[in-house]
């Protein structure tokens, strides 16, 4: 089955506009994330999926520079955007990622995809988000194209169109929903970028790790923060918005 990773990205963040193209040491956050996602061994094709709005043109330009495939669709109907992208590129297994996770570990992505493939069709949806043990910013969801198609054809509430996967989970038996967990609970960490405080932390981490080890891991970040525990206070008071229209 063709594994299609779709990364929802847009410039119009309400709390930190243009966040995905904010730069650290001359490189956009999305560029760091693309580098990391491309190292995932189980992804057959990576797509950056943005809106048709002119403001999102710079995302397309970056992807052209990096030779990464793209798709453009509705800004607010993210479910529809995912379905159209999946249909166009003929994905059979869909991986949902968001473009505000520049530290995402390709090994985490591979683990979620492998778990799905090993248990399909008994499992139709797998994630590491429903029971959080991984740091926020490692978020990975995997589901079948058929499940996405069913959601596209039947969902009509704004919340379901914006957040893509909640409707899917409601449509299937709980026994078809799988979960991967980390070896210990590290869910207190917030490595996603939605505010200036988030960006400040990510900037510190990337500036410290990337020059010495571009392929740094989840464990490398945890070790760095263990040595610099005050850094975790930078964004610890940030309220998490529900995942939405990236």
The band of 240, judged by pLDDT with boundaries at 50, 70 and 90, is confident
Convert the pLDDT of each residue in 113-123 to its tens digit: 999 999 999 99
Q: Strands 45-51, 27-28: parallel, antiparallel or unpaired by DSSP?
A: unpaired
Q: Domains for the chain: give ranges and CATH numbers.
A: 3-233 (3.90.550.10)
Q: Rounded distance, CA 232 to CA 230, Å?
A: 5
Q: How confident is the model at residue 172 (pLDDT cuts 50, 70, 90)?
A: very high
**Which pLDDT tens digit goes with each residue over 1-55?**
999 999 999 998 888 999 999 999 999 999 999 999 999 999 999 999 999 999 9
Give mean pLDDT, residues 143-172.
Answer: 96
pLDDT band at 241 (very low <50, low <70, confident <90, very high): low
Q: What is the mean pLDDT of residues 141-161?
A: 97
% of the chain exceeding 70 in pLDDT: 98
Q: What pLDDT, on the 0 to 100 scale, is given for residue 206?
A: 98
What pLDDT, on the 0 to 100 scale, is given for residue 245? 45
- In this prediction, residue 242 has a pLDDT band, given cuts at 50, 70 and 90, of low
pLDDT of res. 209:
98
- The residues, any chain, with a CB within 8 Å of residue 242's CB and separated by 6 or more, are 163
Q: What is the 3-state secondary structure (H, E, C) of the chain?
A: CCEEEEEECCCCCCCCCCHHHCEECCEEHHHHHHHHHCCCCCCCEEEEEEECCHHHHHHHHHHHHHCCEEEEECCCCHHHHHHHHHHHHCCCEEEEEECCCCCCCHHHHHHHHHHHHHHCCCCCEEECCCCCCCCECCCCEEEEHHHHHHHHHHCCCHHHHHHCCHHHHHHCCHHHEEECCCCCCCCCCECCCCCHHHHHHHHHHHHHHCCCCCCCCHHHHHHHHHHCHHHHHCCCCCCCCCCCCC
Mean of pLDDT over the chain: 96
Radius of gyration of the chain (CA): 17
The 10s digit of each residue's pLDDT in 93-134 is 999 999 999 999 999 999 999 999 999 999 999 999 999 999
- Bridge partners, residue 190, by sequence: 136
d(CA 151, CA 170) in angstroms, rounded, equals: 10
């Amino acid at each position: 089955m063709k594994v299609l990773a779709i990364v929802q990205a847009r410039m119009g963040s309400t709390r930190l506009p243009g966040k995905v193209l904010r730069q650290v040491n001359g490189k956009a956050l999305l560029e760091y994330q693309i580098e990391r996602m491309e190292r995932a061994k189980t992804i057959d094709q990576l797509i950056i999926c943005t809106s048709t709005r002119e403001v999102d043109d710079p995302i397309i330009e970056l992807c052209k520079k990096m030779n990464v495939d793209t798709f453009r669709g509705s800004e607010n109907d993210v479910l529809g955007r995912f379905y159209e992208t999946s249909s166009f590129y003929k994905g059979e297994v869909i991986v949902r990622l968001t473009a505000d996770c520049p530290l995402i570990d390709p090994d985490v992505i591979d683990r979620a995809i492998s778990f799905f493939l090993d248990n399909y069709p008994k499992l139709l949806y797998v994630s590491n988000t429903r029971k959080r043990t991984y740091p926020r910013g490692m978020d990975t969801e995997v589901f079948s194209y058929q499940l996405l198609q069913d959601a596209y054809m039947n969902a009509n509430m704004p919340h379901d169109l914006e957040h893509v996967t909640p409707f899917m989970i409601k449509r299937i038996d709980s026994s078809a929903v799988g979960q991967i967990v980390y070896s210990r609970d590290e869910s207190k960490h917030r490595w996603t970028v939605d505010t200036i405080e988030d960006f400040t932390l990510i900037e510190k981490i990337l500036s410290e790790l990337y020059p010495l080890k571009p392929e740094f891991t989840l464990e490398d970040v945890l070790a760095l923060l263990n040595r610099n525990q005050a850094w975790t206070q930078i964004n610890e008071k940030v309220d998490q918005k529900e995942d939405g229209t990236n």
